[in-house]
Amino acid sequence: MQTDRLVQVQRAFFEKGSHLSVTARKENLQKLRDMLLENEKELCSAVQKDLHKPAMEVVSAEILMVIEEIDFHLKKVYGWTKSKKVRANLLSMPSKNEVKRVPYGVTLIIGAWNYPIGLLLTPLVGAISGGNCAVLKPSELAPATSALLRKLISKTFDPNYITVVEGGVNVNQELLDQPFDKIFFTGSTRVGKIVMEKAAQKLTPVTLELGGKSPAVVHKDADIKTAARRIAWGKFMNAGQTCIAPDFVLVHYEAKLELIDQLKKAVKKYYGKNPEKSDDYGRIINQQNFERITNLMTDTTVLHGGEFNAAERFIAPTIVGDVDWGHPIMKEEIFGPVLPIIGYGDQKTPGVQLRQMPTPLALYIFSEDDEFVERVIASVPHGGACVNDVVMHIANPNLPFGGAGSSGMGQYHGEYSFECFTRPQAVMRRNVWPDPSFRYPPYGKKLFLLRKLLLR
């Protein structure tokens, strides 16, 4: 189907309303859940083909994450759809007032290649529970997963309700020219600006889930061994191609050498002496990103790793030092398996320095000093934070997930996904009697009385 017909046919389906009842929404959520469970092996194979991602990471970080989101919505969606009664104020009495959450209508969800299942289908859960139709656009950089998702979605749902459109940049541009009622985009800040510019032409509301340089601050009182294990896991999972991966480490000088030593031990334990042969370690998505990442390693001191193989798009888990704030590696999101280490001495340095950088999607702090932790959290704008861990805040559906500033706008997960794909609508109900003449002309001294009444 041509892109200019997609919105028309989905809007016609939306207006019929067969998908809007809570029962229908739950049935469609269950269909999506069944689709994932029944095709788990096939989905793992597709992602492995695209990213060399181990099945454990596909299942835990993508399939089960979507299923947990579905289960949360299945339990809660009835309550979310109920109107919320609110009080009348003095001017609106007597009346009955309520706020409804209503669907936007026809939505566009553009996914990303690094988690090609989770970053496409998790927003879809919110679109379904919110009562919307959806056009899904998976990334062309993960072609095996994109093709499989198109096949599975077409078998599971009426295409007039939910459909997948494949293609490259030109297809994205065509889709963004269509009059969607809501756009949800996951990807780079650069492309996010393009999406927002396109949406602004039609005043289409957008949610942008972008990225940035998410710092890990390790204070001198931290449990260094645990910090190293968790940072290494979060950084090198999916070969560093995770939007909320620790991008760099800012560590107190008193803990720096120990942290580097423990990071080396963690990497060796996770991936062995030769990570290229590890079944648990991924590959860079394409040659362009491979060259970009290896170029960022120029003029750094490799403390661990550093090996790469262009033919396999392999870059070893790498730790680098001799990096200052002006180095190119500190000027852009690395989005790969290279971890710069920067030291600090003054407790105020993390907050002061990080405030000067673009707002990160995530902030990680390792410390047992509550005052230090709260100072950093309060002084550094960020999307979401973890204390003494990394990444795991994304796994709790009770927490909103999203960026701020250059790392995005809008939140989702759990109830925030439902709110992301619905809008609040006010309804006031009044009787025809009483109908006092106070508000009608001629006004005379009514303004004086109104002030006396409201400003007492």
Catalytic positions are 209, 243
Contacts of 208 (CB under 8 A, 6+ apart): 185, 192, 195, 196, 403, 408, 409, 410
Give CA–CA dist 315/110, Å, rounded.
Answer: 28
Phi, psi for residue 209 in degrees, rounded to 5 = -105, 100
Give CA–CA dist 448/400, Å, rounded.
Answer: 47
Phi, psi for residue 143 in degrees, rounded to 5 = -65, -35
Give CA–CA dist 322/341, Å, rounded.
Answer: 8
Q: What angle do CA 245, 246, 251 make, to 5 degrees?
A: 170
Give CA–CA dist 438/342, Å, rounded.
Answer: 69
Instruction: Please state at what angle helix 169-176 crosses helix 189-202, rounded to 10 degrees.
Output: 30
- Token pair for 162: 């939910």
- Token pair for 38: 């029944």
CA gyration radius, the chain: 25
- Token pair for 26: 């739950």
Residue 314, SS3 per DSSP: strand
For residue 51, with 0-12 CB atoms within 10 Å meaning exposed, 13-18 middle and 19 or more buried, which class applies? buried
In this structure, the dihedral spanned by the alpha carbons of residues 45, 235, 230 and 325, taken in order and rounded to 10 degrees, is -170
Give CA–CA dist 117/124, Å, rounded.
Answer: 11
